Chains A and B, each alone.
Chain A
Amino acid sequence: MALSIGLDSAVKALRAHQVVVDTAAHNIANANTPGFSRQRVLLRPIGISGSNYFGRDALIGRVGFGVDAHDVNRVRDVFLDFQARQTLGSKAQWDTHAKALGKTEVAFAEPSDSGISEMLGQFWSAWHDVVNDPESSAARTTIVNAATTLSGRIRTAAQGLVVERADLDRQVAGTAERINSAAGEIAGLNFQIKQVELSGDVANDLRDRRDLLLDDLSKIAQISYAEQADKTVTVYLGSHELVQSNQARTVAAIPDLANPGMRKLIFEIDSEDVTTTSGELRALLDARDVDIPGMRTKLDQLASGLINATNALHSTGFGLDGSTGLAFFTGVGAVDMDVNAVVAAAPQKVAAASGAGLPGDGSNALRIADLQSSLAMAAGTQTFDQYYANMVSVFGADVKRSEGQAESSGLLVDHIESLRESVKGVNIDEEVTNLNQAQKAYQAAARVISVIDEMLDTLINRTAV
């Protein structure tokens, strides 16, 4: 049995434990790097299989030839990755939805002293003042002012919805760039990983980066993916291929002819629509095409209901100057509702009377004031005030629902992320322990070398020839 075998084992131990120290250093360095998976050195003893040359001595095979750091592994649970990506998509969806709707809701901050409901109340009140003093120019000026304020408030709210929609559309277009950049990088990583792993190495850090990009993509839209035999991942966005091998399909935002003024996302290669059931993109599209237009339609109905009902009565009445047949409001909806400029310029034309030359008659104004209690909206089931209160509270309930979904999916994400981190995350205490262990082993191996050295010294220099 040769002393050099022991020496060789000790050198292998030095080398292996250097790898352990290097790995601990790498782990500690990346303790706070998002997406990083801790790495672990796989040590294995070198045994009989590689030692045929020394087969003559039965003992040699039993002892073995030291240690080999044969692999450095990424510690990661792919099933948790899969679960995490599903929940990330739904959290991002509801977060985005709640934020978009919350912004819209502020434009209808109710109940308040400055909202549409209050303006509506002042509008009805001002009509009563005209009823009480039809000959008074002060009362007539008040109703013109109240109606002007109400129209202005409704127009501002409608304009706010237009701006919010345009903003959401910009965000929709923005997701195209984010999808393209992530998809492009994944395709590049696919190529690199394939190259590295073909040669038998493991591309741990490249894989971490690719996994992080898959996380990011799943926040934007609903994706599915599968790792292929050649170590590349194929990614589908909706049911359309997004990345295959080192090829990424680009997505573009183009004007949507079916949805005037808005854009849609398509795959440039075949012009197919991008579809998604979750993620930010879903929320942006829902808010842009369903929630905000829904609110706008209701606001338009409220405005046109007020315009038509008031005008129908007003045009049959008579002003102080005998004028008749005049509309009180102009416009057809929320964006263009305003007080008829003819009436606004000359409040004596407010048609308070039911006949010409009756300055003390406020009966037509009373009919208009009584519209407050008429079931003019929602197919004859709601008053104007009720319709508005209902539209605001229904929207509020939608916001609340999104916030609730965001919160509960957030808790789920937190839970799965903590499970994921508990598998793949770096624990410094653990790394320090590994470091200590490796240090001890390294010191011991060095000691082995010096022992063998002394033995050789004894053998060579102290033995009489």
Chain B
Amino acid sequence: MRTSELGRLHSRQASLERASGNMDKVQRQLSTGRKITVASDDAAGSALALGHRRNINFENQMRRNLETGRAVLNAGEAALGSGTDLLQRARELTVNAASGTLSQSDRIVVALEIDQIIAGLAQLGNTQFGGAYLFSGHQSNAPAYAVTGNPPTAVTYQGDTGQRLRRVSEQDTVAVNVPGVEAFASIFDDLIALRDDLNGAAPASAINAHLTTIDDGLERMIAARAAMGARANRFETAQSVSEQRNVGLQELRSSIEEIDLPSTIVEFTAAQNALEAALGAIGRTSGMTLLDFLR
């Protein structure tokens, strides 16, 4: 084919443009570490990557919810654990007092200890976590229990039965609280009545009757504690499942968005060779005319 000066110039320019454009692209990928910087680099891939990113964000938030939720549950569980210990002690004292071997002055000492237990339980009922009262339901800005009198004549629940639900997965929401009325129930009234009976020299049988209510209270508290513990365990498992899922999602995302280093370096070398070849060919041929060979 006949060639012309301009034609040769254009084809050289075109081949140089292609070679250097190709190298530029690979170089940019290498320096950013990314295959996709705008959606047109891979339209379908970018839609997938955005979907993975959404899921990664969501999973991250779910893990945060689980993590902080577990801390709340643990705090509640610990409070109810101490409460259970206190109630056990109250039960022991009641069993002793009901045996009828105690003098009235001994009974008054027991009554004083019951007062301490009531105060201790009220304090546990008012456990705070992150500024919120754990057992107040939705009334989390106010202490769950208000104690009247010293020694206490009444312990009043100021909270409600609200459940503090949070999302822990695409499908599930779980409460991280147990309202005080559920965990403590009528324990305070029962203990106050017990104390009054102890102080008022009630017969042993009457003291004995309090065992039933204390046992009821214990049972409820243990149940509430177990429920919180079970949820905390469930959160822990869910957290590690989510972490694994996150690893998978991150891999998927990076396989779409990011370059594979070894193969990109090979690509870069190939592009570099192509550019060098184009430059070399131009360098060797461009100066050549018939004039070089005419005398």
Contacts and interface: CB of A to CB of B under 8 A. Distances in A.
A396 B6 contact: no
A436 B138 contact: no
Given A128-B61, A395-B39, A399-B40, A422 B7 contact: yes
A403 interface: yes
Contacts of B38: 102, 105-106, 108-110, 396, 399
B9 A373 contact: no
Contacts of A432: 289-291, 294
Given A389-B47, A425-B7, A360 B39 contact: no
A429 B88 CA distance: 112
A32 B162 contact: no
B132 A135 contact: yes
Contact of A422 (B1, B49, B53, B61): B1
A403 B40 contact: yes
Interface string B185-210: 00000000000000000000000000
Contacts of A428: 5, 289-291
B68 A421 contact: no
Interface residues of A, number: 73
A125 B61 contact: yes
B101 to A, nearest CB: 48
Contacts of B294: 432, 436
Contacts of B41: 396
Interface in B37-77: 37-44, 46-47, 49-51, 53-54, 57-58, 60-61, 64-65, 68-69
Which of A357, A397, A423 has the largest number of chain B CB atoms within 10 A? Answer: A397
Contacts of A38: 4
B234 interface: no
A427 B132 CA distance: 89
A108 B164 CA distance: 38
Contacts of B37: 109, 112
Interface in A359-381: 359-363, 366, 369-370, 372-373
Given A135-B131, A353-B138, A362-B166, A110 B39 contact: yes
Given A111-B49, A414-B14, A128 B166 contact: yes
A426 B53 contact: no
Interface in B216-241: none
A388 B131 CA distance: 38
Which of A358, A370, A393 has the largest number of chain B CB atoms within 10 A? Answer: A393
B164 A422 contact: no
B165 interface: yes
Interface in A26-42: 31-32, 34, 36, 38
Contact of B136 (A360, A366, A370, A400): A360
Interface stretch (A2-10, A116-124, A330-338): A116-124
B140 interface: yes
A132 interface: yes
Nearest to B39: A396
B43 A132 contact: no
A392 B47 CA distance: 8
A385 interface: yes
Which of A134, A403, A427 has the largest number of chain B CB atoms within 10 A? Answer: A427
A392 B39 contact: yes
B6 A389 contact: no
B148 interface: no
A360 B6 contact: no
A83 interface: no
A390 B47 contact: yes
Contact of A117 (B4, B14, B50, B133): B50
Contact of B166 (A106, A117, A131, A389): A131
A417 B4 CA distance: 11
Contacts of A396: 38-43, 46
B80 to A, nearest CB: 18
Interface string B253-268: 1000100000000000
Interface string A130-156: 011111100000000000000000000
B89 interface: no
A275 interface: no
A159 interface: no
A392 B139 CA distance: 45
A394 B47 CA distance: 9
Interface in B128-172: 130-133, 136-141, 160, 162, 164-167, 170
B10 A421 contact: yes
B273 to A, nearest CB: 22
B3 interface: yes
A430 B289 CA distance: 10
B139 A433 contact: no
A105 B238 CA distance: 39
Contacts of B39: 105, 108, 110, 392-393, 395-397, 399
Contacts of B47: 389-390, 392-393
A393 B45 CA distance: 8
Given A124-B57, A393-B43, A359 B138 contact: yes
Nearest to B170: A373
Contact of A421 (B6, B160, B289, B291): B6
14 contacts: A32-B6, A101-B40, A105-B38, A105-B40, A110-B46, A124-B58, A128-B166, A133-B132, A360-B177, A389-B46, A393-B39, A396-B41, A396-B43, A397-B40
Interface of B: 1-7, 9-11, 14, 36-44, 46-47, 49-51, 53-54, 57-58, 60-61, 64-65, 68-69, 130-133, 136-141, 160, 162, 164-167, 170, 173, 177, 253, 257, 289-291, 294
The 4 closest A-B pairs by CB, nearest first: A425-B4, A396-B39, A360-B140, A421-B7
